[in-house]
Chain A
Amino acid sequence: MTRVLVVDDAAFMRMAIKNMLESNGMEIVGEAENGAVAVKKYVELKPDLVTMDITMPEMNGLDALKAIMQLDPQAKVIMVSAMGQEAMVKEAIMSGAKSFIIKPFKADHVLKTINSIL
């Protein structure tokens, strides 16, 4: 089973992603509400996949992505972005994010994206 770490500052978004992934046979091993927690949890949990929101307090998704990539160059991180964040998504891709999904997302888009990188 794919073990996923869901990172988003909005509990609502975490719930949405969690519901979506769990109903498709993935295991949510952890949730993080900001980048700093995400990095800590990544080290702890070693998930197969991370969904990473970009706009977050404390440490944003880009910095968290960079930190995670430094710790584990093989990390599979999918950015969760919104329209208007093109520049950041681009930077994330350059920093090693495997792909991205755009809010508001549809289940099949998310799954397609995730399956393409697993």
Chain B
Amino acid sequence: MERPFRSGSVTRLHQDRSLLRHAPLVMLGAMFIPVMAGLAGTFLPAIGYFPALGGDSLSPGPILDLVRWPGFFKAGALSITTGVGVTLLSLAIVILFTAAWQGTRLFSAAERLLSPLLSVPHAAAAFGVAFLLAPSGWLARVMSPWATGWTTPPDVLIPQDPWGLTMMAGLVAKEVPFLLLMTIAALGQTESIKSRTIAQSLGYGRTWAWMTVVLPRVYEQIRLPVYAVLAYAMSVVDVAIILGPNAPGTLSAQVVSWMSDADLALRYRASAGALAQLGLVGGTLILWRLMELSVGCAARRWAYLGRRMQRDRVLRHAALLGAAAPILAVLIGLASLLVWSFAGFWSYPDVLPLSFTWTTWLRHASDLRDPIMETVRIGAMAVGISLALTIITLEAEQRFNLKLTTRRLGLLYAPLLVPQVAFLVGLQTLALESGLDAGTAAVTVAHIVFVLPYVFLSIAGPYRAWDARYATISAAMGAGTQRTLWKIRLPMLLGPLLVAAAIGFAVSVGQYLPTLLVGAGRVQTLTTEAVALASGGDRRVIGVFALTQTLAAAVPFMAAIALPRFFWRNRRALQHR
């Protein structure tokens, strides 16, 4: 991490230098130690070593047992098809939409919708999609019976179809906003509009011009987020429980159910399954990389042909439809959660309930209190620690000229490329081995692994872009580095800091697996409670919990936007509008 730097002459600085110099290492440690420890805790039982259960010799038994499980190949194949399908579809939508619409008012409108969409937790979005697409869902109700002839809901297996299509739809709806945000961030560094205009002036169609001259530069920068989407979609559990097939389930969902089985011997198989999931993700990432190379090669050859592709109207409208569908699905899904949470009796095929009532909210108000407190406690701690580590690291980088190079930045994404189940299973095993009680603190540590990268990535840009001349002036007026940090820099960066905190908090709110596995079922947040309700299928209560979960993630966002405007109402440039 460290780079050689010229030793300063101010001796006073020496003390914090020694501490601060290691800040980047501490930050990476906070992310990597849990992941590495967890992977070790997964790997050893997978090869037969699990002293607490009497396994003290190495054997291929667990892996053979896993392969002999009748659903293994199907679950593995499902993991690959959903992962690759979701990533391809989301990427295609984002690329086409950006290529066709960047620079238009419509594109800016979509941009403004991104933050709220991103803050919607995966589980809530999945419930919304389920309410929309089910045979008795809103879509079928609106169309029935006049258009479809269905006087009773059709007997089709949706959601939970065996091919995982509903699950893919739910994931695409959440991954499109994420990739779009990453793409927009990358566009800032590529002079995209200028390049595209030049290409257009050479006669290229708008969409094709962008894809030829901008996409290669943009893709370079969004590659890691794309890999993160692939790894996530291959191994997601909460969305799979809500929308995915259950006979058999996806590999990761199956691993989680083995972990909670009464038959402790199944934990060997669970560990082997988690390891297999890691291998599957690794292998698929390599295949994806190979695909990138060959697609790049073919596209280069196609570009040399010099075809102008001017007629892209159909494509442009298809791109718009592709981007609008997931956004609408999430928004209408949330609306259906809202309607259900207030619904009196509501039978098929009525489009709206016969009556509306507060009773569901009143009945569950007291059940919401504890999960809300737990969610806020864990989120606040994870965000606080992540924010502190991030600022210390960035400050160290600045003061000692230690630069995280692009390649090292990749390290930040590394925890996001490891399937969650692969190391979380190991963390639970380690807790069992060591006799330590899993609790809120352990869950917070696991959340930091996922919160920290997002906090760092969202704040690093504005932090580095801060005009250092303010520091020079403040030093000239006699203020030390600490004082400059607290009195000038952080207040000026209030807006970006709050946004980073809000993003981190939303990430924490949405975490299902780290809370479930590390908390051993004893730490109950809004997310674990909401997903646990999935099996009961009581849409009114699900509506209450999923909406509360969405609010928990969204309220900090609103605060992050409102607070700087309030505090800096007399300093326009600091409002970060």
Chains A and B are bound partners: no
Chain A interface (Cβ within 8 Å of chain B)?
A: none
Chain B interface (Cβ within 8 Å of chain A)?
A: none
